[in-house]
A and B are shown apart, each in its own frame.
Chain A
Amino acid sequence: MKTKDQRANIVSTSAGTDNRGDAKSAAVVVPPRPAAPGRGNGRALPASVLTPPAPSPPPHLDDYRNIIGQAQVDALRFLARGLKGKTIKMVNSTAVGGGVAEMLNRLVPLLSELDVPTHWDVITGGNDFFEVTKAFHNALHGSPYELTKAAQEIFLMYNEQNRERLQFGEEMVVIHDPQPVGLIRSRAKTSARWVWRCHIDLSNPNAQVWGFLRPFVEQYDAAIFSSQSFARQLPIPQYLFYPCIDPLSEKNKELPEELLQKVCDDFGIDRKRPIVTQVSRFDRLKDPVGVVQAYKLAKKYVDCQLVLAGGGASDDPEGAAVLQEVKEEAGNDPDIIILDLPPWCGLEINAIQRASTIVVQKSLKEGFGLTVTEALWKGKPTIAGAVGGIPNQIIHKLTGVLVHSVEGCAFQIRYLLTHPEFARSIGVSGREHVKENFLITTNVKRWLLLYRILLEKARRG
């Protein structure tokens, strides 16, 4: 948990058209270095993964041309033409860490490059505020919670403080997630369109917390959710923006064959034999023990190796316990390779996914499941649990296969390894599905469309 001083250092992080790609204008807190990574099932990790790499600058729009095609790049420019000079403010609760910050790091420069200057602000707050919002987060996911007057007052107080500190001169203001939702009270002072972007699963929220937050949400011009099932009954339009990946990031970019070989050699993965991989934190909800069990069932019929590449075991006591459970289930099988990797190993994860024959994501519970998106983008035949946002990505037997049990997963491993043509075809369709729906450029398009639609509605009154 960040200290108040650390959070207070995160101020405005504007990225206008003139300084696109430059470091943020205010000090950014560097997260503390996690403990040394674990050693999985005995293999030493190579030195190359022990320190974080330097961050690479964000790509330009034209860098995506070979991926999405000139016609789609042109469509983005045509969409943006009608918004030239119009500005956007994005507000969230953290500049570093987490999917929202990662997404905004890419989205903000791309919008600004399209002459839609986008400013990114981060709210500040004390330990008390972030403890309350963490409790709200869990409650909105369905955890039991008693909403106290004190919690409400803390929430409102910090929202009010941020409201007084921040300026809202832009034509569209986007508030991300519940932490800053109270900033809508500034709406009366502006003629802007206000949008609430909810990144969390609201399908089963704690009634008290939702009842407290809902009156704020209803004042927005529109709300955005990541899945149809997360939406609520609201008197405002609700749009569907799927989460997205950046095909040019370390985690997803094309890699040379030599690098795939090197990474596999470093981790003791034999590329001459089939490789089945799950990439996930060591977390019971990802069911890594179930994946080992499925592998063992499949192995009675087909030869393969299992790679479990994850993290979280070295900085999370529960993660360490899960890793231990996985190691016990794996026993001494030399074909099961368990990797507890630090969080900055995007390149290595990318290489392992690309080298794999099949990718598995046998989650028992999931948000959207961007690891599935990453695997699909790489054209990998993917087996995944039919939970959370995964069915939005995997259309059974068309863009991947959905499973509901260890036995189901085992069968699909056997089937895909013995029917390479079918495996290849679902891999191809899976990649096309991501290209159509889950890339950062599609996200840029959605924001531009929304902006145009809201401005048009405002114009018509």
Chain B
Amino acid sequence: MSATDKPLPSKPLSRKPGKPFYFNTSEHLLRIGRQKATTLSELLQALQTCPEDSIFQHTFRTLQEHHFIRQGFSNDFAHWSLSACHEPVLAEQLASVDVREFTAIDGLRGRMVETVDEFLQEHPRSGSRAAHEAFYFCASDLVVLPTTFVANSLAGFLDGLNQVSVHSIHHHFIEARLRLHRMSNDFSQWLEEEIGLEQAAEAIERIDIYTHTMEGVRLQIARIVGQALN
């Protein structure tokens, strides 16, 4: 039984929220960048110099683009290492990077660079081998939009959670830490600060986004909130 399957101890709802939860969503427009890589060495160089929004696109954003894939489409760098460069070891190492460990893109970039660099030091010949297809560094222009859902209670929050799009779930659950600059997400923060449900907040924060689709993540969050409601 995972941490998220354990039933939460029953606790009376401590307070009515001081602030409602506004469900927003974000929509992205993909922009093709100037950099591309045709070898792992070029990937390493470009990882160090590409704009931050490129790192965001190929890590955070790709989870939203491929939200329906259960087997894990962790990030574009991992996928390219496997599908175009045929380097499964590097692919697995890159895939294991959890974007939620980072509250700023800088740290995430550093981890990616470090992973590729170490791999190439151990496998120098892999650096210059031509990839089956090039990696094009892209980025997103982002627009944040409101939705029709505003929660003034825990029941309203659960209702909104069940009805908003997966893009909204991604916006609040995954992208949020870059906005908040803390190891949390909008849902957990609101549950903890406005409702007083610290344990539910922690349980939500521990959900593994890489072994579930975004719909699966939604269901788990809803289950945790539903348990707290009951």
Which residues on A are within 8 Å of B, measured CB to CB? 69-72, 74-75, 78-79, 225, 228-229, 231, 233, 237-240, 391, 395-396, 398-399, 429, 432-433, 436-437, 445-446, 449-450, 452-453
Chain A binder among B85-93, B162-170, B203-211: B162-170
Nearest 3 A/B pairs, CB to CB = A432-B68, A228-B136, A71-B165
Neighbour of B32 across the interface among A71, A225, A436, CB < 8 A: A225
Neighbour of A69 across the interface among B68, B71, B136, B165, CB < 8 A: B165
For B23-67 the 0/1 string (1 means CB < 8 A from A) is 001011111101010000000000000000000000000000111
Neighbour of B67 across the interface among A72, A391, A436, CB < 8 A: A436
Which residues on the B side are within 8 Å of A453 (C-beta)? 29, 141, 143
| Alpha-carbon separation in the docked complex, A399 to B68 (Å) | 10
Decide if B145 touches A75 in the complex (CB within 8 Å). Answer: yes
Given A71-B163, A71-B164, A229-B134: A446 and B145 interface contact (C-beta under 8 Å): no
Neighbour of A436 across the interface among B68, B145, B148, CB < 8 A: B68
Closest partner residue, chain A, to B30 (CB atom): A240
Interface status of B201 (Cβ within 8 A of chain A): no
Decide if A429 touches B68 in the complex (CB within 8 Å). Answer: yes
**Can you name 14 A-B residue pairings with CB atoms under 8 Å?**
A71-B163, A75-B167, A79-B145, A225-B32, A228-B36, A239-B31, A240-B31, A240-B138, A395-B79, A398-B69, A399-B69, A429-B68, A436-B65, A450-B29
A46 vs chain B, min Cβ distance (A)? 38
| Alpha-carbon separation in the docked complex, A449 to B28 (Å) | 8
| Alpha-carbon separation in the docked complex, A437 to B143 (Å) | 17
Decide if B31 touches A75 in the complex (CB within 8 Å). Answer: no
A302 vs chain B, min Cβ distance (A)? 25
Given A72-B165, A75-B145, A228-B138: A238 and B31 interface contact (C-beta under 8 Å): yes
| Alpha-carbon separation in the docked complex, A446 to B27 (Å) | 9
Decide if B141 touches A449 in the complex (CB within 8 Å). Answer: yes
B147 vs chain A, min Cβ distance (A)? 6
Decide if B73 touches A398 in the complex (CB within 8 Å). Answer: yes
**Interface SS majority for chain A:** helix
Interface status of B83 (Cβ within 8 A of chain A): yes
Decide if B32 touches A231 in the complex (CB within 8 Å). Answer: yes
Decide if A452 touches B143 in the complex (CB within 8 Å). Answer: yes
Which residues on the B side are within 8 Å of A69 (C-beta)? 165
Interface status of B133 (Cβ within 8 A of chain A): yes
Decide if A398 touches B32 in the complex (CB within 8 Å). Answer: no
Decide if A238 touches B32 in the complex (CB within 8 Å). Answer: yes
Which residues on the A side are within 8 Å of B34 (C-beta)? 233
B88 vs chain A, min Cβ distance (A)? 14
Closest partner residue, chain A, to B133 (CB atom): A391
B31 vs chain A, min Cβ distance (A)? 5
| Alpha-carbon separation in the docked complex, A74 to B25 (Å) | 11
Which residues on the B side are within 8 Å of A446 (C-beta)? 29
Interface status of B146 (Cβ within 8 A of chain A): yes
Which residues on the B side are within 8 Å of A396 (C-beta)? 83
Interface residues of B in 105-146 (CB under 8 A from A): 133-134, 136, 138, 141, 143, 145-146
Closest partner residue, chain A, to B145 (CB atom): A78
Closest partner residue, chain B, to A457 (CB atom): B141
A97 vs chain B, min Cβ distance (A)? 29
| Alpha-carbon separation in the docked complex, A411 to B25 (Å) | 43
| Alpha-carbon separation in the docked complex, A141 to B79 (Å) | 29
Neighbour of B25 across the interface among A75, A225, A239, A450, CB < 8 A: A75
Decide if A74 touches B148 in the complex (CB within 8 Å). Answer: yes
| Alpha-carbon separation in the docked complex, A72 to B141 (Å) | 18
Which residues on the A side are within 8 Å of B165 (C-beta)? 69, 71-72, 75
Closest partner residue, chain A, to B148 (CB atom): A74
| Alpha-carbon separation in the docked complex, A265 to B145 (Å) | 50
For B153-181 the 0/1 string (1 means CB < 8 A from A) is 00000000001110110000000000000
Given A228-B36, A437-B65, 15 more pairs with CB closer than 8 A: A69-B165, A71-B25, A75-B165, A75-B167, A229-B136, A239-B29, A240-B32, A395-B69, A433-B68, A436-B67, A445-B27, A449-B28, A449-B29, A450-B29, A452-B143
A172 vs chain B, min Cβ distance (A)? 14
Which residues on the A side are within 8 Å of B30 (C-beta)? 239-240
Closest partner residue, chain A, to B25 (CB atom): A75
| Alpha-carbon separation in the docked complex, A75 to B34 (Å) | 30
| Alpha-carbon separation in the docked complex, A219 to B145 (Å) | 31
B187 vs chain A, min Cβ distance (A)? 17
Neighbour of A239 across the interface among B32, B73, B134, CB < 8 A: B32
| Alpha-carbon separation in the docked complex, A437 to B62 (Å) | 12
| Alpha-carbon separation in the docked complex, A108 to B183 (Å) | 44
A83 vs chain B, min Cβ distance (A)? 11
Decide if A228 touches B141 in the complex (CB within 8 Å). Answer: no
Decide if A71 touches B83 in the complex (CB within 8 Å). Answer: no
Decide if B143 touches A449 in the complex (CB within 8 Å). Answer: yes
